[in-house]
Chain A
Amino acid sequence: MPALILFWILAIVCIGAALTMVTAANPVRSALSLVVCFLALAVYYVTLSAQFIGAVQVVVYAGAVMVLFLFVIMLLNLGAPVTSSTKGSNQNTAAVALGAILLLVLFISGIFFEIPGKAVSPATAQAQGTVKAVGLTLYNPHLPWLFPFEATSLLLLVAVVGAIVMTRRQV
């Protein structure tokens, strides 16, 4: 029961923050709402006993990605758009309508369909989110994660180099 209450509180925070992010005109406010949403998600991860992912979520998303966003927003000094949108009022209506359909469909498939398989006991689940368990899984040469993980480091390197090259003033 406490878990359920926590879930609902976090859900309200999460959805509220997400909605604020979409509706806010000011990108800074948007970004902050998103940070709140990410933090709430991190708490979700911890309650799902994925502590490592929760911490990484905070470090990477809240700590690095969103700071980067804020940094760029402030660097470019972007406020709310000056002109009101003249084009695409149909676009917005259609977007909301389609979003509603999507939500309905996702709800139906998420709630009304029984998920095959059986949930494991909380004790078993608890042992799987620790740093040690994640590390052992990730670096296990008998599991298929090691090579993708190494490849990801290359991806990050490429991204770093790409970002630097792109934003250099003198090319």
Chain B
Amino acid sequence: MMARITASVYTSHVPAIGAAIDLGKTAEPYWQPVFAGYEKSKQWMRDNTPDVIFLVYNDHATAFSLEMIPTFAIGCAAEFQPADEGWGPRPVPKVIGHPELASHIAQSVIQDDFDLTIVNKMDVDHGLTVPLSLMCGQPAAWPCPVIPFAVNVVQYPVPSGRRCFMLGQAIRKAIASFDAPLKVQIWGTGGMSHQLQGPRAGLINQEFDNAFLDQLIADPAALSNKPHIDYVREAGSEGIELVMWLIARGAMADVNGAGAKPTVRHRFYHVPASNTAVGHLILENN
């Protein structure tokens, strides 16, 4: 039996959420509504623990300086340490990788004309660890191996939504050709609307965000044609992170002629967490 994608998870990855968890502030009035939105998700993770998580995120000037900026980088190492982003490393478990599956995916998608960078040494920042904390709480070890997949959304040009969606399709094909009966979840993280810089900092667009969630569920192929400028103008300069959700969505059965529309197991939206709108979806394959 071959590996298969069982579900996709989408979530913002705000650093302040990580700080709130690490400092025990999750019950405070400011934070309580955010974490309440993930209670159901944690139960779902316990009930549906995968064998591997393929976790799409972006590095925030942590592992990658300006010396080298890969558009797409796949982590093929045996483990990845939580990074010191300037406040000291987060007190979370180290991330155990899945070198065999990661290398297999790299091999397959490079042959499908995606020009990945293979990474065998990398610390992982809040972009990867905050989603794990939101979905898994504070365990002594993460529940399964994780393949980090870093997308450049820091220096323009970032990859187009369309390119991301097609990459998701290629990743699905790669996973389906791995000869081991693994249940794999694919996670897309970052967003939703936010802008961290300049006089326009603090921009939030609830209408855009909810329309994005609707269309991500119903018609992601059309959504993938949204140009960068629409994200920047409508969802803030850092809202561009949402293109990463299209990688996860492109890996689902329905957009690969392999199944019906996914079941929306959970949907959550809240403003604000620090500077950012928090959005979250769990989609199960059918």
Do A and B associate with each other? Answer: no
Residues of A participating in the B interface, judged by any CB pair closer than 8 Å: none
Residues of B participating in the A interface, judged by any CB pair closer than 8 Å: none
